[in-house]
Amino acid sequence: MSDRLSILFQHLLPKQLVTTLAGRVAGARGGGATTRLIRWFVARYRVDMSEAENPDIASYASFNDFFTRPLRPGVRPLAAADFVCPVDGAISQLGDIDDHHIVQAKGHRYTITDLVGGDATLAEQFRHGRFANLYLSPRDYHRLHMPCDGRLMRMIHVPGALYSVNPVTARGVPNLFARNERVVCVFDSPEHGQFVMVLVGATVVGSMATPWHGVVNAVRTGRPSQWDYTDQAITLAKGEEMGRFLLGSTVIMLFRPGAVALNPDWTPERPVRLGEMMGNAPR
């Protein structure tokens, strides 16, 4: 299918209905039918089950249990760096925030204010900062981890569309990441200042979840929601789990000016692994 036809299909697809149905299938405990679905998925996307803590496909009660499976201890060691990669995936885009704009793809940009749900005060902290957008394909491990130590300050759920977030759609749908549903998590690092991790929803992404809240978007009301955690001591260490996708998507990180010098080996479309060096604080 050509890029143009793929984008047209995205526009015409009843994305909310498809996502709801996919969520029901993924959460169902279907016995043999669930096992057959998982086996097909593993073969179709060449999932490496040897890295899973539990490689026995038949033991997963639901597709969601399989999809959010933990890795074996030690299979993703953390690099000796100030910031580590929070996911398995591929780099979509990264680099400097141009004033308050982020590059989505060639010819497409969007603002950090739109990305974080319209909060101009929050967005202002990241003007001229740096960003990294990491895409998780269906075959990837789908838990997200902390790039550095941080204390949770706020979480914002922003309702939106459910376009696919694959590279073809990123090239063809303007404002993709600022129009899709997303969960904005604001952290404060004692060493590096405030940073943001944005979990972006997509077609068939049934839900996004965090350890401190559970499923964030269990019911899609169409209205933004916000939680303030400044009166709680929710702290997560570098490499600790901070969220998961129930089916795949993308995570966007925002860093304040001068907080991080990104890994010079990181370039768009490069595959990345959880725990590898993402960058260091400028010395």
Which residues are identified as catalytic? 88, 145, 249
Of the CA atoms within 13 Å of residue 235, those in its CB half-sphere come to: 5
Retrieve residue 103's tokens: 């590059």
Distance between CA 58 and CA 33 in Å, rounded?
10
Q: What is the DSSP letter of 238?
A: T
List, as one string, the DSSP characters of the chain: --HHHHHHHHHHS-HHHHHHHHHHHHH---THHHHHHHHHHHHHHT--GGGBS---GGG-SSHHHHHTPPBPTTSSPPPSSSEE--SSEEEEEEEE-BTTEEEEETTEEEEHHHHTTS-HHHHHTTTT-EEEEEE--TTS--EEE-SS-EEEEEEEEE--B----SHHHHHHSTTHHHHB-EEEEEEEETTTEEEEEEEEP-TT--EEEETTTEETTSS--SS-EEEE-TTS--EE-TT-EEEEEES--EEEEEE-TTS-EE-TT--TT-EE-TTSEEEE---
